[in-house]
Amino acid sequence: MSNKPNLTLKDIKVEIEGREILKGVNIEIKGGEIHAIMGPNGTGKSTLASALMGHPKYEITSGEAHLNGEDLLEMEVDERARAGLFLAMQYPSEISGVTNSDFLRSAVNAKRGEGNEISLMKFIREMDSKMDVLEMDQKFATRYLNEGFSGGEKKRNEILQMMLLKPGIAILDEIDSGLDIDALKVVAEGVNSMRNDEFGCLIITHYQRLLNYIKPDFVHVFMQGRIVKSGGPELAERLEAEGYDWVKEELGIEDETVGKG
């Protein structure tokens, strides 16, 4: 019997510097499920990702978040990662002086905990095999973390990190932005290689194209700091074909963004 991971959000509200950006987000992501969030710019999608990872600037003012039944909001940032939550960021940061492989190994060991560190040999073997899947050159192991990486290389590196950390729940923020078609397929392959009951995923994307390669079970539309509509893969196809106006009309939304004024 496997224990399926589960991330449940109830009416999550978030403020940044006193301005309310998220206005009540409800979602449940279970192991084995892929959810996609699509939505216009500036509607709060990345804010949701950052707030869940515990970014100090994003204050969760009300609502509940549970990861595998435990109160996520009570956990420190490192505890969230150890409990199996992972975020691939829209804009990954560069760290000079720290090699990619040292960073990745530290992250893996931090998750495994003291006394249970992975052996160097085993780590390198695993990293090599994942880099093969992602068609990454070995030189990326010894380069400084993200420093001078092209946009596409950074995205591949985020997925490499995910594949090594094996999170229960992953949030992938615009993992497809800036990827050429071949890279898109490779990144999708990386995500698909993780698909099983012990892995649930929330993909934030602007383009249905990614969802041709990673078939979502659920598609949610994000506007005004919350999910305003949910459906299956057909919803993403309609958004790609027709844009967001029909959703706004249907729901009587004039300005879909948040945080103005």
Ligand X SMILES: Nc1ncnc2c1ncn2[C@@H]1O[C@H](COP(=O)(O)OP(=O)(O)OP(=O)(O)O)[C@@H](O)[C@H]1O
Query: What is the distance between the alpha carbons of residues 187 and 51, in angstroms, rounded to a whole number?
Result: 25
Query: What is the distance between the alpha carbons of residues 105 and 43, in angstroms, rounded to a whole number?
Result: 35
Binding residues for Mg ion restricted to 76-115, rule: CB under 5 A: 90
Sketch the per residue contact string, 49 through 68, with ligand X: x for CB under 6 A, - otherwise.
--------x-----------
* Cβ closest to ligand X, residue 16 vs residue 211: 16
- 2 CB-near residues (< 8 Å, 6+ apart): 31, 197, 198
Q: What are phi and psi of 62, to 5 degrees?
A: -160, 170
Among the residue ranges 23-31, 35-43, 207-215, 245-253, the one whose residues contact ligand X (CB under 6 A) = 35-43
Q: Which of 13, 33, 38, 46 binds Mg ion (CB under 5 A)?
A: 46
Residue 90 CB, nearest approach to ligand X (Å): 6
Binding of residue 178 to ligand X (CB under 6 A): no
Residue whose C-alpha is closest to residue 206's, from 218, 192, 219: 219
Q: Which of 1, 2, 18, 41 binds ligand X (CB under 6 A)?
A: 41
Q: Which of 42, 63, 178, 231 binds ligand X (CB under 6 A)?
A: 42
Q: Are 259 and 42 a contacting pair, CB within 8 Å? A: yes
CB atoms within 10 A of CB 90: 17
Q: For residue 222, how far is the Cα from the chain centroid?
A: 15
* Cβ closest to ligand X, residue 47 vs residue 101: 47
Q: Which residues bind ligand X (CB under 6 A)?
A: 16, 21, 39, 41-47, 57, 90, 258-259
